[in-house]
Structures are given as structure tokens and as C-alpha cells.
Amino acid sequence: MEERNELYPVFLKVNKLNILVVGGGQVGHEKLHFLFKSSPNANVEIVAKWFLPETEELAKKHGAKLTKGRYRRKYLKNRHFVIAATNDAKLNKRVYKHAKKRYLLANIADTPELCDFYMGGIVNKGHVKIAISTNGKSPTAAKRLRQFFEEVIPEDVNQMVENLNEYRSTIKGDFEAKVEQMNSITESLKVKNKSDD
């Protein structure tokens, strides 16, 4: 039987969540960069013994809190999830164990078996956001797919979404009637399979 991707995609309002990132080096910087690229107002605290200058700059730009010092279990208090992104595998594993005791979601860099979630490739065009997952198998494939979708999705897709939202607010009737009307209007967005012709 073929292996399936059983991850459930969600879009988190990270500006309303408390996120801890452990690690101020290159791996931590990468995680922060992609988090802020997608969600510039994410509520983040970064804990590390030292920080790359570009990490300090990124944190300042997005209002993230930098805490210089060693990771301690107390930093997990009042968090919703944690990202461990250090080059110390033992420390990363310790963060994971502490997170599990508190029922927190954890992402441990480059260790798929210690991840409750993955930070996949993201395509962002205004209100339209597409997340891409390879089930932790190939970040490079996710990157290439992201680049592909960024090229093929038209720049004016945001205007279409705005127009459909305005139209939706004018539709009368119950939920089922509204869904039926919106489905009818957006039917032309489906790509026809050649065998359908």
C-alpha cells in the first residue's frame, strides 16, 4: 500500500498565539524568516546564548522578543507551541520532552520524528495562501512546488477573492442556498480535465 500524507493542514493566527523559538543561529534564523515572511505580526520570543546579527535585525523589524541566555523549562510557560532550532541535538530533544509534558506542539528542526507539525512551503498572494507539505520528506520539493505555484497563480487573484466576498455578502437565503450560488459562480475556476471534453 502506498504511503500517504496524513497531515491535517491548518492556518494559525500566530499573532494571537505565544510562540517560543529556541536558537539564535542559522537554523533559528531560517525558521524565523519563513514564519515572519508568512505572518509578519507573529508573536514570538527567541531564546539563545547568542544571536546572528541578521536574527537580531529580523526580530527588531517584527517586534519579536530576544532573550539572551540558556534555554530553561520555564520559558515554555504560557506558550502555544515551540520551535527548537539549535545545532545541539540533545538540547533540541530536551525542549521536545519538556513541551510534551506540557501538551505543547513542538517543531524540532531537522528531526521529523520529533515534530508535531512541519513548516512547509507557502505561496502567498494577498488573501490567497497555499501551504505545501511533502510530509517532511523533501523541503526542496516543497520549495520547487512553491515557486511553480507563485508563477502560475495570477497576481489579480486577490481582486477576484475580494469581489467574491462582496458578492457573497449580498446573497440572500440559508447557508445551503448561499453555498450553491457561490459554487455556481466559481464553477469556471475549475480546470477542465482533457478527458472531460
Neighbours of 100 (CB within 10 A): 13
Work out the burial of residue 24: count CB atoms within 10 Å of its CB; fewer than 13 is exposed, 13-18 middle, 19 or more buried. Answer: buried
Do 124 and 114 lie in one domain? The reply is no
pLDDT > 70 fraction of the chain, expressed in percent and rounded: 95
Do 53 and 27 lie in one domain? The reply is yes
Do 43 and 91 lie in one domain? The reply is yes
Is residue 106 domain-resident?
A: yes
Do 75 and 136 lie in one domain? The reply is no
User: Which residues make Cβ contacts (< 8 Å) with residue 1, sequence separation at least 6?
Assistant: none
pLDDT at 194 over 50: no
* pLDDT tens digits for range 120-171: 888 988 888 999 988 878 888 888 999 999 999 888 887 888 877 887 787 8
pLDDT at 38 over 70: yes
What is the extent of the structural domain holding 177? 156-188
Query: Rounded CA gap, 17 and 43, in Å?
Result: 6
Do 129 and 113 lie in one domain? The reply is no
Last residue of a domain, one of 119, 137, 172: 119
Is residue 75 domain-resident?
A: yes
Is residue 2 domain-resident?
A: no
**C-beta separation of 71 from 50 below 8 A:** no
pLDDT of residue 175: 80
Do 102 and 39 lie in one domain? The reply is yes
Number of domains in the chain: 3
Please report which confidence band the pLDDT of residue 172 belongs to, taking 50, 70 and 90 as the band edges.
Answer: confident
**Chain-wide mean pLDDT for the chain?**
89
Is residue 89 domain-resident?
A: yes
Give me the CATH number covering residue 66: 3.40.50.720
* pLDDT tens digits for range 101-121: 999 999 999 898 999 998 888
Between 14 and 3, the higher pLDDT residue: 14
pLDDT at 192 over 60: no
pLDDT at 22 over 80: yes
Q: Kindly report the pTM of this predicted structure.
A: 0.82
